[in-house]
């Protein structure tokens, strides 16, 4: 019997990580792929990335527009409620055997909540991780408790999910699927990347992605402008990508847009790069700055230095290529990242998040592991 695997995706970054898994499900003789796109994918503000999903050759079964204003906690809560209402109809029509989710965004919580209330088994990727500076932390653990199958990016994260009372036989260390993309996607040459960006990358170039810390009451506008003012004192060119549709994300994006207008030859901002251009940029820049999980998880595969600002990623396992700092320490951290000693220390590191086999492991378990909507809490022996 062919299993119907319904994947719900709401953002460019999460879709990029799901991409190698979607491709393998799509060509499997034992699984039927169903795709539902929501939230940021259908927003002009965030680049209408639904077009990329279609361009990649996936049939989209349902498009669910649920994103309200992203500048307040209440609007995020309303967007979550709306996605639940609309997903319940979509699940009723599609009748999936398994709902496959990745990560910890608010629409992912909405999808998990809808699935569990409709007695649909959930398979969850990237559970067990810590990000103490974002509300994603609580969402991720909540989804883990709702899920039947778990695919973790390290053994430490696997053990953490087992600690939460999940059955060890249903918790797998697959590694991070983002590494699969690095190993198997055909990345662009530097010249081709510059043509597609319509922007020249200098000898010293930075890739910058920064999201709001959604559990803190920081002055987001002051924080992003302080970061931009510090980076402006350096000679490197900067390629910016948009912040996610989180509370405060609009403030970050508006201020980056204004900053880039100062010197378009030196600074470039894009709402979405897409997975191939994003990883190609990561390959050719000298340094990553911000607080994105991609800097923590994928950048080590390119031996790239990463400056991780603030507490958003606090608690996540990090390689030796990561420099943690607060805004007041940013200038010092940039100098450290550019030092010959630091570059030498990370010139030949292995990535703690896997070797690029996650999608094969996930596919195998989706095919062969019996799924159920019945689970029980496992007490520690």
pLDDT digits (tens, 9 = 90+) for 82-141: 999 999 999 999 999 999 999 999 999 999 999 999 999 999 999 999 887 778 889 999
The CATH H-level superfamily of 190-345 is Glycogen Phosphorylase B; (3.40.50.2000)
Identify whether the C-beta of residue 326 lies closer than 8 Å to the C-beta of residue 310: yes
For position 214, what pLDDT does the model report?
65
pLDDT tier at 217 (50, 70, 90 boundaries)? low
Provide the percentage of residues in the chain whose pLDDT is more than 70: 98
Q: Mean of the pLDDT values across residues 49-62?
A: 95
Domain 3-175+357-368, what fold? Rossmann fold (3.40.50)
d(CA 193, CA 190): 5
Residue 231 near residue 201 (C-beta atoms within 8 A): no
pTM of the model: 0.90
Does residue 375 have a pLDDT over 70?
Answer: yes
* Mean pLDDT, range 246-259, rounded to an integer: 90
Tokens of 50: 């639904």
**Segment among 37-46, 159-168, 240-249, 346-355 with least mean pLDDT:** 240-249
| Region of poorest pLDDT, from 28-32, 37-41, 163-167, 209-213 | 209-213
| pLDDT for position 150 | 98
Query: Which of 45, 152, 115 has its CA nearest to residue 12?
Result: 45
Q: What is the spatial distance between Cα 53 and Cα 37, in angstroms, rounded to a whole number?
A: 9
CB 120 within 8 A of CB 304: no
Answer yes or no: same fold for 3-175+357-368 and 190-345: yes
Which SS3 state, helix, strand or coil, does residue 316 take?
A: coil
Domain residue ranges of the chain, discontinuous segments joined by +:
3-175+357-368, 190-345
Residue 106 has a pLDDT of 92
Distances (CA, A) of 372 to 5, 116, 148, 156: 13, 11, 7, 25
């Amino acid at each position: 019997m062919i299993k119907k695997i319904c994947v719900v995706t709401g953002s460019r970054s999460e879709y990029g990580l799901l991409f190698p898994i979607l491709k393998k499900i799509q060509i499997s003789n034992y699984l039927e792929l169903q795709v539902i796109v929501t939230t940021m994918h259908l927003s002009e503000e965030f680049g209408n990335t639904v077009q990329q999903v279609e361009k990649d050759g996936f049939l989209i079964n349902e498009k669910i527009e649920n994103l309200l204003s992203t500048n307040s906690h209440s609007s995020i809560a309303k967007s979550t409620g709306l996605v639940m209402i609309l997903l319940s109809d979509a699940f009723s029509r599609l009748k999936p055997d398994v709902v496959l989710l990745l990560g910890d965004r608010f629409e992912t919580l909405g999808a998990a909540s809808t699935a569990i209330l409709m007695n649909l088994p959930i398979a969850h990727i990237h559970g067990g991780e810590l990000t103490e500076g974002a509300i994603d932390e609580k969402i991720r653990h909540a989804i883990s408790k709702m899920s039947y199958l778990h695919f973790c990016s390290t053994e430490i994260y696997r053990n953490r999910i087992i600690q939460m009372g999940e059955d060890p036989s249903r918790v797998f260390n697959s590694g991070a699927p983002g590494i699969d993309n690095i190993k198997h996607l055909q990345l662009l040459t530097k010249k081709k990347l510059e043509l597609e960006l319509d922007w020249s990358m200098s000898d010293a170039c930075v890739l910058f992605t920064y999201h709001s810390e959604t559990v803190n009451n920081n002055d987001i506008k002051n924080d992003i402008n302080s970061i931009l003012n510090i980076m402006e004192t350096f000679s490197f060119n900067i390629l910016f990508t948009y912040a996610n549709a989180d509370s405060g994300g609009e403030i970050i994006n508006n201020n980056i847009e204004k900053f880039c207008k100062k010197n378009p030859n030196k600074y470039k901002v894009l709402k979405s790069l897409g997975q191939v251009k994003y990883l190609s940029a990561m390959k050719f820049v000298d340094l990553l700055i911000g607080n994105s999980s991609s800097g923590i998880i994928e950048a080590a595969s390119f031996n790239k230095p990463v400056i991780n600002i603030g507490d958003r990623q606090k608690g996540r396992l990090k390689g030796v290529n990561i420099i943690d700092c607060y805004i007041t320490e940013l200038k010092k951290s940039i100098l450290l990242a550019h030092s010959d000693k630091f570059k030498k220390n990370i010139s030949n590191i292995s990535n703690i998040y896997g070797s690029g086999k996650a999608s094969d492991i996930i596919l195998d378990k989706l095919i062969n592991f019996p799924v159920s909507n019945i689970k029980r809490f496992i007490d520690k022996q």
